[in-house]
Amino acid sequence: MKNLIIASTSTVHGGSYLSYLNEQIKKLFSETKEVLFIPYARPGGISHDEYTKIASEAFSKINIKVNGIHNYKNPIEALKKAKGVFVGGGNTFVLVSQLYRNEIMQPLREVIFNGTPYLGTSAGSNICGITIGTSNDMPIIYPPSFKTLGVIPFNINPHYLDPDPKSKHMGETRETRISEYHTQNNIPVIGIREGSWIRVKGESIILKGSLSARVFEQGKAPREIETNTLIKF
């Protein structure tokens, strides 16, 4: 049975890394004291070791040890043996490229469907969707495919921002960009605002957190869903 937290962000304003999710993470990984961390997204270009240290410090506060997948000679075997998996944020294109390069996109999908608890934030949430076509990140590297895990039947747009009527910015809004996406694609998209997440248990997909989310479907007007809404398409 699938068991996931798909979060918009790792850090909310005024909080430390993952602190707003501490209680949820405890529940998600309640049956293990070790989590396999996939640091491939490398936020700001930091090293895998530096990123793993950040994750380790956050998880140590809830008495969970973090092991970086980059330290294993066989990442596929590491995934199969893992009792929990965390994929952090950063650049989605770098993350997806590395997952394909190490041939672990499909094994990661398989362990998720087999019930291994999974936490994703930002880029780690993007890859839970069908493709990364609605990422906010710059395509600084070209992955073999935009196709990702497909453990939920829609795409994610993390860090979703509403238009600011007071802003003098004349560029595209997030809503405009997703509307453009739907001129070429028919995959639904959910924009998750900061501090909210999607909880997946089996076939149940529920919005959690204090904020509503924005839902986009091809040929339909965007709509809001409130927290605790069961998501179905």
Does 60 reside within a domain?
A: yes
Tokens 């960009």 sit on residue: 177
- Answer whether residue 181 shows pLDDT above 90: yes
Per-residue pLDDT of 2-47, as tens digits, reads 999 999 999 997 889 999 999 999 999 999 999 999 999 999 999 9
Task: Give per-residue pLDDT as tens, 98-144.
Answer: 999 999 999 999 999 999 999 999 999 999 999 999 999 999 999 99
In a domain, 231, yes or no: no
Find which of 45-49, 159-163, 171-175 is predicted with most confidence, using mean pLDDT.
45-49
Is 122 annotated as catalytic?
A: yes
Provide the domain count of the chain: 1
Residue 170 has pLDDT above 70, yes or no: no
Question: What three-state secondary structure class fits 204?
Answer: strand
d(C-alpha 64, C-alpha 110), whole Å: 23
Active-site residue, 137 included: yes
The structure tokens 């003098």 sit at 168
pLDDT value of residue 216? 98
8, 97, 122, 125: the active-site residue? 122
pLDDT given for residue 11 in this prediction? 93
Residue-range definition of the domain harbouring residue 105: 3-225
* Structure tokens, 138: 């710059």
In this prediction, residue 171 carries a pLDDT of 67
Q: Is residue 197 part of a domain?
A: yes
Task: Identify the pLDDT of residue 14.
Answer: 80
With 80 as the cut, is the pLDDT of residue 168 above it? no
Report pLDDT for 15.
Answer: 86
Classify residue 233: in a domain, yes or no. Answer: no
Task: Give tens-digit pLDDT for 197-232.
Answer: 999 999 999 999 999 999 999 999 999 999 999 999
CA–centroid distance for 187 within its chain = 17
Over residues 182-206, the pLDDT tens digits come to 999 999 999 999 999 999 999 999 9
Cβ distance 3 to 118 under 8 Å? Answer: yes
Residue 62 maps to a domain: yes
CATH number at residue 138: 3.40.50.880
pLDDT at residue 164 in the model: 73
Residue 112 carries which DSSP code?
Answer: H
Per-residue pLDDT at 128: 98
- The answer to whether residue 173 is domain-embedded is yes
Selecting among 8, 70, 97, 137, the annotated active-site residue is: 137
- pLDDT value, residue 163: 75
Handedness of CA 83, 126, 210, 203 (dihedral sign): negative
Give backbone dihedrals phi and psi of 6, rounded to 5 degrees, phi first.
Answer: -115, 100
101 assigned to some structural domain:
yes
78 located within any domain: yes
Choosing from 48, 159, 182, 212, the catalytic residue is 159
The DSSP annotation for 31-96 comes to T-SEEEEE-TT-GGG--HHHHHHHHHHHHHTTT-EEEEGGG-S-HHHHHHH-S-EEE--S-HHHHH
Stated length of the chain: 233
CA distance 201 to 115: 9
